[in-house]
Amino acid sequence: MKQLRGRTALVTGASGGLGRVLALALAHEGVGVAASGRRADRLADVVGELRALGVRAEAVPGDLTDPGQAESLIARAEAAVGPLDLLVNNAGVENVSAFTRLDPGELTAMVDVNLTAPMLLTRRVLPGMLDRGRGHVVFISSLAGKIGPAYCAPYAATKAGLIGLTESLRAEYAGSPVGFSVVCPGFVAGDGMYQRMTERGVRSGRITGETSPEKVAAAVIRSIRRDRPEIVESGAPIRPVLALAQIAPGLVERLALRFGATAMFRRLIEDRGRVEPGR
């Protein structure tokens, strides 16, 4: 979709962090935005910023841990800003922990928000996009969906699921007027899990690098304009490592240990008391 000005978008997880920057990047392109998230007060601030850029913007609060709200969010967003041309599935839950220290509710919450909700939203928005002859859906995955790090098992699993979902939808709707892209950020400075890590003095190494919300947002815009299947934005030349992981996964496991990725996450869970008993 090369022409973005005058289009409309729903951005989930837009009440702060990366979601706010994604919404602003779309607004700078002239896109009207329905901003969704759990914090109505923060959404109001984001909507004010979007309107100051001269686009139509409305807050559409929603808690995607509730499947019923996910089912109704598309209808509420279209009632607020009009038929949707773009859907950016950004909302996500991160929880760094030893796997056995996660209770069933924590596991299912990550699946509900990170994977089930994007599928429900895409299923709802897709028929209208096809009828109107235009549309694009972006899934915000993670580098963890490409190479699962230690202590992030359910998060990595859900983010890998988004990559598979994108591939399957692109195959099913090849030749249709609707595109699908997945963007896989690495460690994003000032946002989410990595922000909490840096506050504890834990930083990414030279292999995985560090990126910014603005660079991830630029990748999202690029994925829409060029109908890119997948973009990895990590702030480092990580593609050779990802290719190597397909050829020699055992070697990449050893590299992760050598360059401190596992130790980095372990330090974080030790600070949070989420290590396994006896380890």
Higher pLDDT, 202 or 234: 234
Q: In Å, how far are 111, 213, 275 from 106, measured between CA atoms?
A: 9, 26, 16
For residue 85, the model assigns a pLDDT of 98
pLDDT at 182 over 50: yes
pLDDT at 96 over 90: no
pLDDT band (50, 70, 90) for residue 278: very low
For residue 218, the model assigns a pLDDT of 98
pLDDT at 37 over 80: yes
The tens digit of pLDDT for each residue in 103-141 reads 999 999 999 999 999 999 999 999 999 999 999 999 999
Torsion 88-264-156-207 (CA) sign: positive
CA torsion 75-139-35-54 (nearest 10°) is -110
Torsion angles phi and psi, residue 147, rounded to 5: -135, 105
Tell me how far apart the alpha carbons of residues 125 and 34 are, in angstroms, rounded to a whole number: 13
pLDDT at 202 over 70: no
Active site residue 173: no
150-164, 198-212, 232-246: range with lowest mean pLDDT: 198-212
Instruction: List the catalytic residue out of 151, 155, 173, 194.
Output: 155
pLDDT at 260 over 90: no
What token pair was written down for 192?
A: 């989410």
What token pair was written down for 69?
A: 């709200």
Rounded to the nearest angstrom, the gap between the alpha carbon of residue 122 and the centroid of all alpha carbons in its chain is 14
What single-letter amino acid sits at 101? R
Assess if CATH 3.40.50.720 describes domain 8-272: yes
For residue 187, the model assigns a pLDDT of 86
Rounded to the nearest angstrom, the gap between the alpha carbon of residue 86 and the centroid of all alpha carbons in its chain is 15
Q: Which of 90, 107, 116 is nearest to 37 (CA)?
A: 90
Segment (H or E) for 43: helix 40-52
Tell me how far apart the alpha carbons of residues 108 and 26 are, in angstroms, rounded to a whole number: 31
Q: Which of 186, 92, 116, 93 is nearest to 147 (CA)?
A: 186
The DSSP code for 91 is -
pLDDT at 186 over 80: yes
Q: Which of 35-39, 68-72, 232-236, 243-247 has the highest average model confidence (pLDDT)? A: 35-39
* Percent of the chain clearing pLDDT 70 (strictly above): 89
For residue 276, the model assigns a pLDDT of 61
The 3-class secondary structure across 95-142, one letter per residue, is CCCCHHHCCHHHHHHHHHHHHHHHHHHHHHHHHHHHHHCCEEEEEECC
Average pLDDT over residues 142-152: 92
For residue 214, the model assigns a pLDDT of 96
pLDDT at 146 over 60: yes
Rounded to the nearest angstrom, the gap between the alpha carbon of residue 130 and the centroid of all alpha carbons in its chain is 23
pLDDT at 36 over 90: yes
* Per-residue exposure over 8-46, b if at least 16 CB sit within 10 Å of its own CB, e if not: bbbbbbbbbbbbbbbbbbbbebebbbbbbbeeeebbeeb
Average pLDDT over residues 57-67: 94
pLDDT band (50, 70, 90) for residue 277: low
pLDDT band (50, 70, 90) for residue 201: low
Q: Is the backbone of residue 56 left (phi > 0), alpha (psi -120 to 50) or beta?
A: beta
For residue 265, the model assigns a pLDDT of 75
Q: What share of the chain is helix, strand, coil (3-state, %, to 5)?
A: 55, 15, 35
* Percent of the chain clearing pLDDT 90 (strictly above): 68
